[in-house]
Structure 1
Amino acid sequence: MTRFHSRRLSIQTFEERRLLAAVDIPDDLSAAPSAIVSAPVNIDTAVGVRAAEIRLSYDTSVLDIDPDAITLGSVWGTGSDAQITANVDDAAGTIVIFVASSSELTGISGSLVELPFEVASNAVIDSTTVLDLTLVTLNEGQISVDPSPIAGTDSTDGLLTITGDATGSDSISGFVYADANGDNVVGTGEAIPGVTITLVNTTTGAEQQTTTGEDGSYQFTQLAAGTYRIVQTQPSAYLDGGDNELTVSLTDGSALEDQDFRELGLLPQYIYNRLLTTRVLPVGSSEWNDTITQINADAASDASTLASQATSTSQTSAATTTSADDNSSAAGNTATGEPIAAAEIAAAFAPPAAGEPLSPAELLATSPNETDTPPTTAVTPSPVTTADDDREDTDAVDTVFSNNLF
């Protein structure tokens, strides 16, 4: 009698047939004292990864890091909804990072996270320091990591060599500005101070940072010949006017100028009432620049707050909307991110007819972010005044507020 043997089909989960993933930090990093070096935590293939826990330790006498500067790596892409939470213990020299995404990654290699360390100014030239990768967990342990990182020396650890700062006589300079009149030139009142500019040597990976001055200018000096990336951190209070990264090449003895970053103008929620008053005029005065600096600081604070809220599941979208609304002083019914026409601004702050009392709303019309609110009886909105001695200031304001920018 012939016997037949039946075979029952079984289903194997994706994680069960998943190949091992290798995760490590490069061991050929280098940077000079006081420089910033980006240390990636790399993965050979990220197929199926949707969450990661990463732990490492470092020498606090040589390196320092800001937890807010730790960013998602290249494998997550630009359109990912992945969220990152980083905790740094400065005393112990430990970092704990959690990354989570709603969808799994495809087969791609690259970095899970990027760690921008700042090298101590007194770091010893030609010395080395270890970035000890102590734990990596993928998808709560469903994806194995081989070799598995451990505390202490192993093949997953990174190594940073402190090198001499390669200097030269070259320089790079430029401006960050809001192009109110559309002429692609930095004009009066258009400078944006306090913007972070990062310079990266594409050969060594060494970084240095500066911020724009009161006139919107920045400069890097004593540079060696080579190729560099100039990266602007987009100022939160402004509409993005174009690329935030430039790539340039320097030859010996060159001074590269006019490496500018152009923005389109203030977002509606950051058009403070005081910009429309004679108290900060003329445009480009120290009082005007102080107000613009305060706007930039408020916007950066708002952006940091919103980023923190995005990583907390306890925060709601309504709270985020409230945070943005608290800083609005002249947006009216205009959608967030849409510039306001100069005519609309002038109409919104036009004074009442002679003898007509001010409403409570008009009396409290100053931006809630302003810490030095002037007496309401002493301020006259300059865009609508008819006094001869204010005409010159009014024309200057109209110029800056033209083209729906300020």
Structure 2
Amino acid sequence: MHMKKKRSRSLTVQPLESRRLLAAVDIPDDLTGDVSALVSVPVNIDDAAAVRGAEIRLSYDTDLLDLDPDAITAGSVWTGLDTQVTASVDDAAGTVTIFIAASAALPTGSGSLVILPFSIAGTATVGDTTVLDLTEVSLNEGQIPVTPTPVPGSDATDGLITVTGNSGNESIGGFVYADTNTNNTPELVEGIPGVVITLTNVATGETLQTTTDATGRYDFADLSPATYRIEESQPIAYLEGGVNELSVTIVVDQTIADQNFRELGLLPQYVYNRLHTTVVQPVGSTAWTDTILQINTDAAATDTTTNTPAVASNTDQSSSTQTASDQSQAAPAGEPLPELELSPVTARLLSSQSQVVPVNVESGQRKTDDDAVARDQALASMLIW
């Protein structure tokens, strides 16, 4: 009698992770951080069930970001006290490799696998963006599939940091001045008041506007680190002496105070005769500043309406607009007034230099590349400044 051989089937243990379908791992793309500040970057997982270890690789822009490998920590999904993190950072290449593991498999739940505290460079500007390229993720040595699969280059798993403003401790300032001694330096009495200056944040397009004070000074305070464009509204009554637009980048806690705009003095038709008198002198006095502001107003009104030289009051009328009928009321600008009406300094200067004052000047001429010609044209205003 033959007995039927009994078949036996061996039992196998199926790892829990083999029953996992997929895990999604990525870096958020809505991260923000201030210039020179730290921004905590998580590498997130949608479900950490059965994960015991992870290998994570990513790359970053070393011009904008810096990372200390010793500051990298385990994320929120790791609850065991035996969790170990090993991180390697190649700052020159901008690459990070992280190994993280625990003795027991993690329970079901979402959160971060690891936290990377990146430092944003002080040279960054508000509005800058930088990509964190998640290039590789391996869970349990590849036993748990990751989808979408991170790859080098742009994909849905990559993160993004946008640089934002900080407390606003930065400032930009300068002078608008008539460089009557042609030394390319604003001096105490050379400032031009009432000039409109516009500041634009290049990244955001935000604009601020101010006008120069009695000394020709302007300031923009409470700014954030960024690249800015500074524009001067050319004062019409003055000969141009340089550019009307500047660009400057400020970093954290920086003050830049030398963004100056240079002019070469009043055009002859705006050298009002009262500027020569003791009523207005000395240069820089309240009366002087008020007169310069009035000249600016007259010049702007002339430019926008008749496009001809402004007609001033009887005591202010210049030689370029004066007719024969009113010459008895005011002497032409550039010619000496009676000695009793002149300030001592003006009388002495005009007496010594009246022979070289240009008589017929092309009032609309602009030669910013030829200071010698421009200086001759502005000589009348130089005598009183």
TM range (shorter): 0.3 to 0.5
Structure with higher helix content:
1
TM-score (norm 1): 0.38
